[in-house]
Structure 1
Amino acid sequence: MNGWQKTTSSSDWNIFWASIHTVSRLFHPDSGFRFKDSQIVNHFPTHSELTRKDLMVKNISRLKRELKKEDSALLHKGPDGYSALDFLPESFLLPADYSLFVEEYKRRPNAVWIMKPTGKAQGRGIFIINKLSQVKRWASSRVVGSKDAYLACRYIDNPLLVGGKKFDLRLYVAVTSYKPLRAYIYQQGFCRFCTIRYTPAASDLDNMLVHLTNVAIQKHGSEYNSQNGGKWSIENLKLFVESSYGRAKADQMFSDIQSVIIHSLKAVQPVMVSDRHCFECYGYDLLIDDTLKPWLVEVNASPSLSASTLADRLLKTQLMEDLFHLVVPPDLMDPSTRTVGVNQSPDLEKCGDFVTLIDETKLEKGEKVVRERSARGSRLIWK
């Protein structure tokens, strides 16, 4: 990228694009490492509060409990039966919440559940169940003393389909501070498609090519298109929704998506260590159902930057270019005036497709939420 050089020095650097494990070691009290005023790193030390599936669920549940005590309008149900914070499918941590899961299963015996290991990615270890006996078999087959936990999530069985196929969205969100919260969303993203037409039939529950959109899984299917990587641009999705449902509903869907992201960031804000030397670019994965309601699937701390197609390469190269413009203070390039930490007031005209999602420094004093007119009814959202 323009103006930057790769270095092998362990101490003389400005931006360290590191793994989550390396960042964890840097912030460990025994590491002895101290950031210079001109150094920033690409992860927050407590990022797992958002990016580990079980911790994300825990933090959002905690926020709901706190707001319930205040009778917050954020929890008031709209005409569709959901509140602004109902964007995660019902979830249970197993084996810890096994008894609660059994109760819920008995209450809704026809529901389908997707089992996800809390510490894995790219679809590894995921399976789908519709019988309690399947969970019992899983529990009995676990190695005694195993610390591997699973999250049992209600499976969204009414996904929005394009050409009869299921898809999810990958969006990029950059956070430069949690206290105050400053977050920016990238206007370019993509949809990832399954290669086989969707069917909710029980006989197809074991076919991950029908249910999981991960490229790591889909690329092994015989119908996988290596030219487009089974992907669609966000712009194509918007055009599809506009043509099928109208522009107003398409605009509302994308507004709802932004609300989901803001709520998730607010949920983890109290437990995040917001170090001034940190920023993070998350990969948000969302699913849209056939009512155009967005559901949060997971948040990735290290979204893949590898490219499987030319369009992929162009998008991710530009993403990194724009991200560096967003997070690097202008004075960092001048050794005589280097400043502390991540850019606190980026010039968005130079940041390409990044736009402000939320900036708490620009809110009115004491303002926490604003009322938004929605196709789903009037509601309050964080702003």
Structure 2
Amino acid sequence: MDQENDVKSCVETKTIKNVPIWMLLTFLSVTVATAVLLEIGVSDYKLWKTEKINVSASINTSLNNYHKFAVYPTIKSSDIHLHHVLEILGQMGYKQTAINEDDWDFLWAHEYPFNKMGTRMRNILPYQTVNHFPGIGFITSKVDLSTASLPFMPKAFRLPEQKDEFLQYARDNPDSIFVEKDNQHRSIKIRPPKAINLNASNSFVQEYVQNPFLVDGHKFDIGVYIVLTSIEPLIIYMYTGDVLFRYCPDKYYPFDDTNVNQYVVGNDYLPTWEVSSLRKYFESFRGGMRSSFDAYVRDQSLDPSVIWLQVEEIVRLTILSKIKNIAIAMQPFKNGKYFELLRFDLIVDEKFRVHLMEVNMSPNLSSVHFKPNALLYQQILYNVLNLVGVGSPIRTDKRFFDEEETITSDKNVAVNLNDCAKYTCYKSCNKPECDLCLSCLKASEVNILRKAHYEHLHKMEMKRIFPKTIVSTKKLVK
């Protein structure tokens, strides 16, 4: 047995001795290289894992510091009037924080915040956005607006200050009838001049439009959604995706001034989908409220565009009439970003003249009473928040990353490059050809241009109605 083992050992030794040296060296090299690669792979994995953790931590930190919104006044969990506001902000990646915290990016104030929170509003940070402008009450106050003598508003008189003027107007216009209102538009009712309390405070009387345009015999009003994104310079947008139509529950004729359901649009108004002539357009053909109304108007061999052109002009002139007052009210509030969502309520008479009735701050956006209105309010909010930058597609920390620089920069607003070079505007801005060269503009002016470009990219179904679009009259070069 020992002899056999010796023989085997000799044979194996001989075999090993016969293995070429280069093969052994190759084997050793491969072994060492494999070990090195394994070590590098483990290190890279550890590094990748660490980086991934750091990125995740950064994202979590971003979410904690960015996309925070607050609500004023604080709402209870049972409150549902802001359901769609909270819903859309949640879809946009925002999380709610308390109003007494300082790190919110966006404040949705259902009530005017500049009185009770005036000191705090004057000290908000540049990146913080608020959904109201200081001084917007000059437009939305029922009494102030109705007595502003605008040609498209029914004649109105403030009581008791203008009772003498009212009595004189009633004598000069004996066929006129009037409605008595307070500043909250409660208890609206037609009254003869003798029955009106001329000494009532904070109220007014307004001439009643007696010949309304009717749909299936029903009087209606139109709610048009308007957005202000800047006061100086003034920039106004109108939401064109749809319009809120509200019809009086009872038919207008035979007219009975004691039946307010014939002429006052209340909370229990008749919606579009319950108006016989509009139902087919709204339900069968899936039109909106405006497109269904426009279709009905065309059925009467009339042109609905006549109405909408008047609406745009009414919005422009109404806001322009109060813009100086708002600009003065804005002066103490230099920081932050502001915008305003308004609803203009209008009626149309049988001659297709449009009359402004009131302008609403914080218009109703709750579909609790009328479920089909949910889509209208959701789309309005989505359009508005994207327009003003709250719904930006870039999701990072505004305080450390200028997202607007990524979307719109100087190169996007630079114009007249040939003239700027020809007249050496980078050296001197004295020539009129240099007026629009970026090197000759103030920083504030460049920011205005960049803001306008940003809004243009994000306007979606918002139409800018002021400033009006300038149509070039230059002929195309052949």
Q: Mark yes or no: TM-score above 0.5.
A: yes
What residue number does 1:357 align with?
Answer: 465
What is the rounded CA distance, in whole Å, between the counterparts of 2:236 and 2:121 in structure 1?
Answer: 30
SS at structure 2 position matched to 1:165: coil
What residue number does 1:163 align with?
Answer: 216
- Whose relative contact order is higher, 1 or 2, with alpha carbons under 8 Å and at least 6 apart? 1
SS at structure 1 position matched to 2:171: helix
SS at structure 2 position matched to 1:264: helix
What is the rounded CA distance, in whole Å, between the counterparts of 1:3 and 1:229 in structure 2?
Answer: 39
1:179 counterpart = 2:232: yes
What residue number does 1:17 align with?
Answer: 108
What is the rounded CA distance, in whole Å, between the counterparts of 1:266 and 1:151 in structure 2?
Answer: 23
Choose which of 108, 111, 125 in structure 1 pairs with 2:187.
125
What residue number does 1:316 align with?
Answer: 377
Instruction: For residues 246-299 of structure 1, give each alpha carbon's deviation from its aligned partner in whole angstroms, at most 9, with x where no partner exists.
Output: 3xx321221111111111011111111345621100011000000111000000
Choose which of 289, 298, 312 in structure 2 pairs with 1:258.
312
What residue number does 1:381 align with?
Answer: none
What is the rounded CA distance, in whole Å, between the counterparts of 1:290 and 1:226 in structure 2?
Answer: 19
Deviation at 1:115, TM superposition (A): 1.2
Instruction: For residues 143-189 of structure 1, give each alpha carbon's deviation from its aligned partner in whole angstroms, at most 9, with x where no partner exists.
Output: xxxxx321211100100000001000011000011221101001111
Sort the Cα spacing of 1:32 and 1:106 in 2 relative to 1 into closer, same or farther, 3 A. Answer: closer
Task: Give, as a single letter, the amino acid of the residue that structure 2 aligns with 1:5.
Answer: K
What residue number does 1:6 align with?
Answer: 96
TM-score by length of 1: 0.74
What is the rounded CA distance, in whole Å, between the counterparts of 1:134 and 1:197 in structure 2?
Answer: 26
Task: Give, as a single letter, the amino acid of the residue that structure 1 aligns with 2:292.
Answer: N
Choose which of 172, 180, 193 in structure 2 pairs with 1:107.
172
Tell me if structure 2 keeps the 8 A contact 1:41–1:277.
yes
SS at structure 2 position matched to 1:319: helix
Sort the Cα spacing of 1:286 and 1:192 in 2 relative to 1 into closer, same or farther, 3 A. Answer: same
What is the rounded CA distance, in whole Å, between the counterparts of 1:225 and 1:54 in structure 2?
Answer: 28
Task: Give, as a single letter, the amino acid of the residue that structure 1 aligns with 2:359.
Answer: V
Task: Give, as a single letter, the amino acid of the residue that structure 2 aligns with 1:15.
Answer: F
Q: CA RMSD for the aligned pairs? A: 2.9
What residue number does 1:211 align with?
Answer: 263
Q: Which runs of 5+ in 2 are unaligned?
A: 1-90, 279-287, 405-446, 472-478
What is the rounded CA distance, in whole Å, between the counterparts of 1:333 and 1:56 in structure 2?
Answer: 42
Choose which of 150, 158, 170 in structure 2 pairs with 1:93.
158
Bigger fraction of residues in strand? 1
Deviation at 1:227, TM superposition (A): 7.2
Q: How many residues matched?
A: 315
Query: Which entry has the higher C-alpha Rg, 1 or 2?
Result: 2
Deviation at 1:139, TM superposition (A): 3.6
What residue number does 2:67 align with?
Answer: none
Sort the Cα spacing of 1:213 and 1:57 in 2 relative to 1 into closer, same or farther, 3 A. Answer: closer
Deviation at 1:19, TM superposition (A): 2.9
Deviation at 1:21, TM superposition (A): 3.5
SS at structure 1 position matched to 2:307: helix
Instruction: For residues 312-336 of structure 1, give each alpha carbon's deviation from its aligned partner in whole angstroms, at most 9, with x where no partner exists.
Output: 0011011111111011175785422
What residue number does 1:52 align with?
Answer: 141
Sort the Cα spacing of 1:3 and 1:32 in 2 relative to 1 into closer, same or farther, 3 A. Answer: closer
Task: Give, as a single letter, the amino acid of the residue that structure 1 aligns with 2:136.
Answer: H
Deviation at 1:23, TM superposition (A): 3.4
Choose which of 160, 165, 181 in structure 2 pairs with 1:116.
181
Sort the Cα spacing of 1:191 and 1:225 in 2 relative to 1 into closer, same or farther, 3 A. Answer: closer
Tell me if structure 2 keeps the 8 A contact 1:166–1:211.
yes
What is the rounded CA distance, in whole Å, between the counterparts of 1:51 and 1:200 in structure 2?
Answer: 34
Task: Give, as a single letter, the amino acid of the residue that structure 2 aligns with 1:319.
Answer: I
